[in-house]
Amino acid sequence: MVVTTYIAILVYGVLLIQWFHLSPATAWVDSAVHILLLSAKVSMITQNLAYYRPARGKYIFVLSYSTVLSAIWLALTYWVLKYIFPNDKTYIEWLNAAVPVHFIVAWLVITAMAVKALVWYDIAEQREEGQRREASERLSREAELYKLRQQLQPHFLFNSLNSINALIAIRPQQAREMVLKLSDFLRGTLKREDQQWIPLPEELQYLQWYLDIEKVRFGHRLSTEVTSTPESEVLQMPPMLLQPVVENAIKFGLYDTTDAITITIKAWQQDEMLFVQVQNPYDSALQQPNRGTGFGLSSIRRRLYLLFARHDLLETSSDQLIFTTLIKVPQTYDKSHNN
């Protein structure tokens, strides 16, 4: 920009001297005033366009803006040069005669530079937006994949298949039962993808399959108590809300202990809300539930917040032996869609 201005001053000055036979002093001052002010206007309009480009009618905006700037530029140069050379009659006459030409040239220069800037900023913006869109698409794809992998729980699945493999040889009847339970559980996992809310008994049945499979895997070490009050059986809940809690209970209560354990799930109605409580024993020597995010409940809390915009729906407590998770589900679903 600075170099261009400097060259323009030189070229214009030489032109004035050679073509219009102005005296060198007058020519250089005239050139400097015109070109410097023009350069100022150009940088003004390009700077402005960097921060403000109207969404609609941007070319009309640029044309009228450059017209106004050209007029201001013309008035300024005219006034400044008249002020510098008040007594040079021939020069002032020449200046007067050059007004239309000056205006047209200035307008052309300012408009051309402004349009160039406009196009350049638009392209930069598009490129940036493209990158942003690409990044966000990649993120959501990764999240989707992660979710799918988590839902299938490969670890659980392969260990279950391994148990079936053992049972086929020693207790074929039980192997068959296990295959059926695993199928029911997997079908439940796939089905709940597109379901908005599901009845509590359905969710509890689904968890029961899951727990039954774990019972087969771990022999007599696991026992479960799943109970719900009669009035709570008409209540509904979002799918995949309780499962991570029960998975946690299994992880810390069963996978990380060696004794016989009981996992209890209780559901009841209170204050127009569904309460579900999950209790599991844990090894207090190995796990410190209050320390860090070891119990992996932060994602459940986040899910509840996304669904209900409330932070008070998940409560946990622990004594030396038992870890308790309590989930409250407000009955806010659209009841008109029920069958």
Contacting positions for another protein (CB under 8 A) = 154-155, 158-159, 161-167, 169-170, 216-219, 255-258, 283, 285-286, 288, 291
CA distance 276 to 232: 10
Q: Where are the alpha helices (DSSP H) in 153-171?
A: 154-170
Residue 282 CB, nearest distance to another protein (Å)? Answer: 11
CA distance 339 to 332: 16
CA distance 223 to 211: 9
Residue 62 CB, nearest distance to another protein (Å)? Answer: 48
Nearest to another protein of 31, 280 (CB atom): 280
Distances 43 to 58, 104, 125 between C-alpha atoms, Å: 18, 18, 20
Cβ–Cβ < 8 Å for 238, 329: yes
Nearest to another protein of 107, 210 (CB atom): 210
Nearest to another protein of 40, 286 (CB atom): 286
Nearest to another protein of 56, 155 (CB atom): 155
Nearest to another protein of 231, 259 (CB atom): 259
| DSSP at 240 | T
Which residues lie across from 11 on neighbouring strands?
none
Residue 167 CB, nearest distance to another protein (Å)? Answer: 6
Residue 173 CB, nearest distance to another protein (Å)? Answer: 14
Residue 126 CB, nearest distance to another protein (Å)? Answer: 37
Residue 319 CB, nearest distance to another protein (Å)? Answer: 20
For residue 267 the two structure tokens come to 């559901």
Cβ–Cβ < 8 Å for 168, 175: yes
CA distance 188 to 182: 10
Residue 296 CB, nearest distance to another protein (Å)? Answer: 13
Nearest to another protein of 131, 162 (CB atom): 162
Cβ–Cβ < 8 Å for 260, 215: no
Nearest to another protein of 6, 158 (CB atom): 158
- 230 Cβ contact partners less than 8 Å away, ≥ 6 residues apart: none
